[in-house]
Amino acid sequence: MICPKCGCDSDHVINSRKWGKAVKRRRVCESCGFRYNTVEEYGNAAAMKIMQLVYRDLMQNLKAAVAKTFEDYKKFLNEQ
Ligand SMILES: [Zn+2]
Q: Are residues 2 and 18 in the same domain?
A: yes
| In a shared domain, residues 36 and 48 | no
pLDDT tens column, 20-37? 878 899 999 999 999 999
Segment 49-77, tens digit of pLDDT: 888 999 999 999 999 999 999 999 999 99
**CA of 7 relative to ligand 1 center, distance in Å:** 6
- For residue 42, the CA-to-ligand 1 centroid distance in Å is 25
- Asked if 26 and 62 sit in the same domain, the reply is no
Same domain as 37, residue 13 = yes
Mean pLDDT of 5-17: 94
Which residues line ion ligand 1, judged by CB < 5 Å? Answer: 3, 5-6, 8, 29, 31-32, 34
Question: 62 and 80, same structural domain?
Answer: yes
9 SS3 class: coil
**Number of domains observed in the structure of the chain:** 2
- How many residues in the chain? 80
CA angle, 52 as apex, 44 and 30 as ends, to 5°?
A: 115
pLDDT at 8 over 80: yes
- pTM exceeding the 0.85 threshold for the entire prediction: no
Distance 22 CA to ligand 1 centre (A): 24
Supply the pLDDT for residue 29: 96
